[in-house]
Amino acid sequence: MPIATPEVYAEMLDRAKSGGFAYPAINVTSSQTLNAALRGFAEAESDGIVQVSTGGAEFLSGASVKDMVTGATALAEYARVVAAKYPVTVALHTDHCPKNKLDGFMRPLVEISLERVSKGLDPLFQSHMWDGSAVPLEENLEIAQELLDKCARARIIMEMEIGVVGGEEDGVVGEINEKLYTTTDDALATAEAVGLGDRGRYMLAATFGNVHGVYKPGHVKLRPSVLKDIQEAVGAKHGKDKPFDLVFHGGSGSSLDEIHEAISYGVVKMNIDTDTQYAFTRPIADHIFRNYDGVLKVDGDVGNKKTYDPRSYGKAAEVGMATRVREACEHLKSAGTKIS
């Protein structure tokens, strides 16, 4: 099937919220990791979201080029071709874009989509994330208003963050402190500033102790009940049940109980990156260690072309990552829920 249209993407999110499941949003950095994500979704019979970060987009453009818009555009165009061969529907998303990268990443991509839509085409990406967690909330919301207006005109769903996700991802660093927990006042201010879908649809990454990367249990304390408090406070004021479409960031190391509790409060998207990176790399390491004298020309020998051919370990890496994507679909209860 093709990449989701704006209407189908909206339907996907509505189905997740009403059906009590969430979509894995898989970060990719190459055609190979994209194929692994698509394969995992197909094996789980789950629709899903493929996303690229600023660093991932730079990498996709070529290590000597480092142009985020070029890399993101190339991924989106490639995905349109290969995703059509898989029996699931996939949305394309760009991940964390901080203020200092808006002009070099999110804004130009939205402009490309505006031009496409003016010609009767679908937007290049189905959603983009504005990460204003590093600026004061008032400034965060001011920028969000501007971006949401442009996204709505480009038929794009915007994602925004209030509160801070701890740890580091592509140079965005969040300290592990009380800002890891979004407050109801933050959520009420957000609803006041950008509406609840009436000015353009958006997803909200509200934080409840989330940290990017790998951490041991007990290092940080996840409090999914924060999401419940936010939904109830804003819902009571505006007369809507679960008014926000919520996003779960920094979920590596989370228990299934924590994940399922968060979904019950309206999480429709959960970012998966650290775990799938390892699942992709682990089979490559296994291949190299097991075939040391084949992948290297030890002592002037000729090696073994079959083992140093990138396809030999690339296939194993794809299987490893696809397996982890399938597992994510099962954990998030999206397995078996594909639209068609």
Q: What tens digit of pLDDT does each residue of 143-196 get?
A: 999 999 999 999 999 999 997 765 454 554 444 546 678 899 999 999 999 999
pLDDT at position 163: 77
Number of other CB atoms surrounding residue 268 within 10 Å: 27
What span, in angstroms and rounded, lies between the C-alpha atoms of 275 and 245? Answer: 24
Superfamily of domain 6-332 in the CATH hierarchy: Aldolase class I (3.20.20.70)
The two tokens of residue 143 are: 């920028």
**287 a known binding residue?**
no
- Backbone Cα Rg of the chain: 20
DSSP conformation letters of 106-132: HHHHHHHHHHHHHTTPPPSSSEEEE--
**213 a known binding residue?**
yes
Question: Residue 101: CB partners within 8 Å, gap ≥ 6?
Answer: 54, 68
In contact, 48 and 12? CB cutoff 8 Å:
no
**93 a known binding residue?**
no
User: Is-catalytic flag, 309?
Assistant: no
Q: Which of 77, 78, 34, 32 is nearest to 52 (CA)?
A: 34
The two tokens of residue 93 are: 């998303």
Mean pLDDT value of segment 64-87: 98
**273 a known binding residue?**
yes
**209 a known binding residue?**
no
Condensed to tens digits (0 to 9), the pLDDT of residues 19-48 reads 999 999 999 999 999 999 999 999 999 999
Is this structure's pTM higher than 0.85? yes
What residue has token string 């030999």?
312
**293 a known binding residue?**
no
Q: Which helix (H) or strand (E) holds 13?
A: helix 6-19
What span, in angstroms and rounded, lies between the C-alpha atoms of 32 and 17? Answer: 30
Q: Give domain limits for the chain.
A: 6-332
What span, in angstroms and rounded, lies between the C-alpha atoms of 337 and 332? Answer: 11
Condensed to tens digits (0 to 9), the pLDDT of residues 260-317 reads 999 999 999 999 999 999 999 999 999 999 999 999 998 888 899 999 999 999 999 9
**251 a known binding residue?**
yes
Active-site pick, 14, 47, 67, 95: 95
According to DSSP H, which parts of 210-309 are helical? 225-238, 256-264, 274-290, 292-295, 305-308
